[in-house]
Each structure stands twice: as C-alpha cells, then as structure tokens.
Amino acid sequence: MIALEDWTHAIADVPVAGLHRERTASQAERDALSRALKIPALEALMAKYHIRALPGGGYRLSGHLNGRVVQSCIVTLEPVAADIDDEFVSEFWPDPAHLDAEGEKAVLDMADIEPLKNGIIDAGRIIFEALSAGLDPYPRKSGVEFDWQDPAAKNPEKTSPFAVLGKLKSKE
C-alpha cells in the first residue's frame, strides 16, 4: 500500500524495556511516498519511535517525525517547500472492541486505536498517516494571493455573490 511497508515490527521482537528505532527513508521510499501523497517531492523523512507493551495485551507506538516536502502552490502551481515536524501516538490491540467496555472516554484524550493483525505493528503506515496529516491543505507561495474579479461585472468592487446568483435566477 505505501512505501514504508518494511517498517514493521513483530510483537515477539519487542523486548520488555521496549523497542527504540530511528529510521530515515531512502530515496526510493521518499519517491514512492511523494507519488502516494500526490506531491512533487519528499526531500527528507526521518522518524524516531518507541514501541512498548501495555497491560492487557496492547502495544503503544509513539514517536516523532521530521520531513521536508515540496507541494504545489494553490494559486501559481509553483513549488512550495515546507517542513513537517510532528508527534504521533497509536495503540495496537488484538481486540480493540473490548476497550469499549470501559465506558465512554474523551476521544481527544485517547491515542488512535489500531487492530493488531498477525502480531505485527506497522510503524510505516502510522508514520505515513502522520506525514499526510501534516501536509498543508492549501500551500501558498509567500506573497501570493488569489484575487479574482468577475470580468462581466461592471463594478467589481460592488458585486456581491447574491447579485451574481440573482442574475442566474430565471425571470418568470
């Protein structure tokens, strides 16, 4: 699915003290990620994370990612470089449904809950999702503004959206 699929860890390999990793995405991984994210380039991606066992059979993956992305300006389509510096936390449980038995919790206070499938923690997918969430949805080159005027308007300063809609309404 994503280029960081090999950034997985079997729970059998997680020691009692936890598993610490620091990973840097290769050029091939960054190229595949930029295609998946539909951005011109991912110039750098580094993640530090820790996996530890939780009471009850779950595992917590927490970490920090740093990335350098290039997106297209929404006005000019020129390249816009940006840094992403973000934290991520997810919990993996063999049966996440049992967590509902504890009653309602504040959703914002909880870590993201993921099903633990085949005893594998997919750190790459979580890092990909954190990177994706950190992208600017409307990247804009510095100093560029969108200033569109209706060419059909005689007085563009006084044209309101309602006036334009009124022109579209059929006269009966």
pLDDT (tens digit, 9 = 90+) per residue, 27-60? 999 999 999 999 999 999 999 999 999 998 899 9
What contacts 14, CB < 8 A, 6 or more positions away?
51, 52, 53, 59, 121
111 token code pair: 């870590």
In the block, tokens 């990620």 appear at 33
Write the DSSP symbol of residue 39.
Answer: -
pLDDT (tens digit, 9 = 90+) per residue, 88-131? 999 999 876 655 555 455 444 567 888 888 999 999 999 999 99
